[in-house]
Amino acid sequence: MAATEVTLVKAELNMGTDLQAAAALDQTDGAYLPFTGQDTKTVILLTGTGTATIKAGDGIQAVNDVSVTVSENGTIVELDSGAFKITQGEHKGKVHITGANTIKAQVCLLV
């Protein structure tokens, strides 16, 4: 199967913003999440249960994958783009997350 593509939601300051429906990770290929904004303003929301692995990017700071245990109530992740963003190829500007299809992902940029 193909990896899930997650849509970036931009949350405007002093306004309410509706989230997109969370997208389940593909069991085999995971999901690609847009990561084009400032690191400290990009929030990844993971829901469900299981362990998600955030794959190291392909930049000079990319060293190790990071595993995150996802709780039933949800888990918020803030990443360093230098370590996790893909900088070239088909998925340029995205972060790759793998894990069970019981995990769903959303990504929000605070603007």
CATH at residue 91? 2.60.120
What percentage of the chain reaches a pLDDT higher than 70? Answer: 99
The pTM of the full predicted model, rounded to 2 decimals, is 0.93
Report the DSSP pairing between strands 8-11 and 103-110. parallel
Domain limits for position 62: 4-110
Domain count, the chain: 1
What is the Cα–Cα distance from 52 to 73, expressed in whole angstroms?
Answer: 15
> Is it the case that residue 72 has pLDDT exceeding 90?
no
pLDDT band at 32 (very low <50, low <70, confident <90, very high): very high
pLDDT band at 1 (very low <50, low <70, confident <90, very high): low
From the list 93, 105, 100, 97, the residue with the least C-alpha distance to 35 is: 93
